[in-house]
Chains A and B, each alone.
Chain A
C-alpha cells in the first residue's frame, strides 16, 4: 500500500526526511515513557541518545526496502538491524555527551553542533555498517550532513519562533535530527550508484531502483527477491537478474533472463529478445520489457558510473 504512494512526483523525495522526523517523534515518546523509570542522570542522558539513534536509524532504513517492494518482515528486520547499531552508537554518544557536558555548555551553538554531527554520523554509519562497502562511507557522510542540516533547522526554528521552539524542544530536536539524517543518508549513496532502473509503466511508474555493488534479482516474490514488481503485471518468480561486474572504477551491468517468457531489451528502437537463461550486456537508456502480451512492465536502465 505504502509503496504505491511513492509515485513519480518530486514530493516523494520528502518521504525519507519525513520518516526520519517520525522516527524522532518515536524517539521522544520512547524516552518520555522510560524517563520515569530511570533515576540516574547519566543513564537518562545516555538513553535519550540511544532512543534517538535507534528510532531514527530504524525510520531512515525502512524506505529503501519499501521502495524495492520487500515484505513486511524483511523491511522491519533491515530497519531494526540498523536501529540496534544506531541505538548502540547513540548510547555511546549519550555517555560521551554526559561526560563532557560539565566542561561545555550544551546550550551553546558549537557543542550542540558537535553533538548533532556525532549522532548523525553514527546513525548514517549504522545504516551501512553491516555491508562495509564503498557506500558505507557515503552513508556516514550523509549522516554527518544530516546532523548539520538538523542543527541548521533547529537554529532557524529558534530564530523564527523561539518561544514555541523552546517550549517543545524535547520533541523538536529528535525530529529535526531525524529529518536531516533522513534527507541525506538515503539520498547521498543513490547519487553515486552504478546505475538505476526506473519503472515506466504500471502501478509503480516513476519508482527507481539503484544498482549498487550487488546483483539484483527481479521478480514477484517479496520474501526473497531484491526488486519486486507486481505479479499482475506479468512478472514471474524470479524473472530476471541484473548482474553487476566491477570494471575499473565503475561497474558493468548485464541482464539474464531467469523465466520461461522472453525479456525484451529495446535499444535504439530495435527489440532484442533474450531467451531463457541467456544474457545481454546493458547500455545506457536501454528499455527493458519484463513479460510480454497484455500485461508487462517497462523499465528504463541508466548507467551512471561507467558508460565505456
Chain B
C-alpha cells in the first residue's frame, strides 16, 4: 500500500511544524518598560515548590546582571510570594534558556545570545616577572604566568562559547616599550589570534620596567580612532580593553623615560584616567576596561592605597611584593557599573574568569525558586515584577491546560528532537518484520515457494528439439 509513502512526508512536515508546546499563553509584556521582562517558563519542582525562569533585558538587549531577590516580586494566582522566606532564591543561571528551549519555548529572543558584538583589545605584561613559574591549584603542572594567561585567552575564544565570529580581537604586549607586533590589526580571524598567542609564548620576557601606561594609551587611542564603530546605530558593538599585568607602571606615558618612585605614578594614573573618560565619551559609553593585576593587592610599609606616598616607595622593589591597586583604582574610578574595573589576585586564571563571568552574566537569565503562598494548591497564574531603580517591569503567564501541565524541562534535548527520534524509531520499526522474514528465508535457504511450471509444457519442448 502506498499510503505510508505519502504519509511520511505529510507526517514529517507536520512534525517540522512542531513548535512550542504552548500550554502557557504569555500575557503581553510591557513594551514601554526600560527593562523588558519576560517570564520564560515555570514548573513545579516538588509539591508546592516552584521555579520560574525570568529574562530581564538592559538597554543593550543583554540580560541585566546583578539583580537580587529584593528586585523581584512573584505573584501566584494573584497572591504575593513571601520574599523573606528561605525558599525564595534568585540566581542567574546558565540553564534558564536551555530549559526554555527544552520546554519548546525557543524563540530567537529567548536563546540567551548576547546581541552586542565586541572588539577586545588585550594588553599583556611581558616583563621578566611574567616568566616566573607558578603553581595553581587544580592545574596539572606549574607553568609561567604568561603561559597560563595565553592559554586562558585561547580558551575564551575557543568554540565560540563566549565570543563568537562577530567579535574581534587585538593582542599587544609591553616590556619597557610597547610590543605591538603580535597581530596586524583588530580582526575576527581566530587563526590570526592563535598566531598572535603563539608569538606571545615564544617571546622572551625582558626587563623590569613596564611601559604599562604607554600600552594603555596606545590601545585607548586606537579605540578612540575607531569610535564610529562603537557609536553606530546599525550595530551594537563595544570596545573592551583588558590589561593583564603583575607590574607597576615603570615608564613615562611616552615610553621614553623610566620612572622609579611609586608616587610618580599618581599623576600618570590621572592622565590615563582622563584618557579612559575621553574614550568612554567618544564611544558613547560603549567601552569597558578591565585592569587585571596578578599578585597581592595589599599595602606595604611604604606603599599605601590612600594618602601621600613615601619617597622611599620604589617601584622595582615594591612591584615584587604587591600590585598597584592604588593607581589601577584611580584609572577605573570613573567607569560606570558593569563597565569593568580593577581586580587583583595572585591566580591569573581567576582574574580572567572574573571577566568571563561578567560577559556570561550578560546572557544568563534569572531562576527564581519559591514556595507557593498558603492556600494556593493548584496555581495557574504566575506573575513576576522586577523593580530596578524606580521602574517596575512585569510579565505573567496563565497556564492553559489542566490536563497536560507545563513540562519541568530538565532535559537539554528539545521536544522536537525527541519527536523526530520517536517518529524515526517507529518508521524504522515498520521494516523489522519484513526484514526478519527475508532473513529467515535467506538462512533457511528456501525462497517463497513458486508454483512449478506445468509438466506438460516441458515435454512439448523436448518433443520440438527432437
Residues of A within 8 A of B (CB): 1-9, 11-12, 14-15, 18, 21-22, 25-26, 28-33, 35-36, 38-39, 41, 44-45, 48-49, 62, 65-67, 69-70, 72, 75-76, 97-98, 101-102, 105-107, 112, 115, 163-164, 166-171, 173, 175, 201-202, 205, 293-296
Least CB separation from B43: chain A residue: A166
CB distance from B398 to the nearest CB of A (A): 6
CB distance from A222 to the nearest CB of B (A): 8
A-B contact pairs, 29 of them (CB 8 A): A2-B430, A5-B430, A11-B433, A15-B430, A25-B419, A26-B14, A28-B415, A29-B18, A29-B419, A33-B17, A35-B25, A36-B22, A44-B22, A44-B401, A66-B3, A70-B1, A105-B377, A106-B402, A107-B378, A112-B403, A163-B408, A163-B410, A163-B411, A166-B407, A167-B407, A169-B407, A170-B23, A294-B453, A295-B451
Most chain A CB neighbours (cut-off 10 Å) among B18, B102, B399: B18
Most chain B CB neighbours (cut-off 10 Å) among A28, A29, A75, A175: A29
Inter-chain CA distance A41–B404, complex, in Å, is 13
Inter-chain CA distance A2–B200, complex, in Å, is 65
Query: B423: which A residues are within 8 A, CB to CB?
Result: 22, 25
**Is B15 interfacial (CB 8 A cutoff)?**
yes
Inter-chain CA distance A175–B415, complex, in Å, is 13
Asked whether A97 lies within 8 Å of B403 as measured between CB atoms, the reply is: yes
Given contacts A35-B22, A167-B102, are A41 and B5 in contact (CB under 8 A)?
no
Query: A26: which B residues are within 8 A, CB to CB?
Result: 11, 14-15
Least CB separation from A170: chain B residue: B21
CB distance from A219 to the nearest CB of B (A): 16
Task: Give a binary string over B386-406; 1 marks a CB under 8 Å from any A CB, 0 the rest.
Answer: 000000000000111111110
Most chain B CB neighbours (cut-off 10 Å) among A21, A30, A33, A67: A33
**Is B422 interfacial (CB 8 A cutoff)?**
yes
CB distance from B430 to the nearest CB of A (A): 6
Query: A48: which B residues are within 8 A, CB to CB?
Result: 401, 403-404
Query: B458: which A residues are within 8 A, CB to CB?
Result: none
Asked whether A28 lies within 8 Å of B400 as measured between CB atoms, the reply is: no
**Is B234 interfacial (CB 8 A cutoff)?**
no
Asked whether A32 lies within 8 Å of B20 as measured between CB atoms, the reply is: yes
Asked whether A1 lies within 8 Å of B5 as measured between CB atoms, the reply is: yes
CB distance from A105 to the nearest CB of B (A): 5
CB distance from B416 to the nearest CB of A (A): 8
User: In the complex, how many residue pairs between chain A and chain B have their CB atoms under 8 Å apart?
Assistant: 184
* Other 5 A-B pairs with CB < 8 A, given A35-B19, A101-B402, A106-B405: A18-B429, A44-B22, A163-B408, A164-B411, A166-B407
Given contacts A1-B2, A7-B434, A106-B402, are A168 and B448 in contact (CB under 8 A)?
no
Given contacts A18-B426, A33-B18, are A202 and B448 in contact (CB under 8 A)?
yes
Query: B20: which A residues are within 8 A, CB to CB?
Result: 32, 35-36
Asked whether B426 lies within 8 Å of A21 as measured between CB atoms, the reply is: yes
Query: A25: which B residues are within 8 A, CB to CB?
Result: 11, 15, 419, 422-423
Inter-chain CA distance A66–B5, complex, in Å, is 12
Given contacts A2-B4, A18-B426, A171-B21, are A105 and B404 in contact (CB under 8 A)?
no
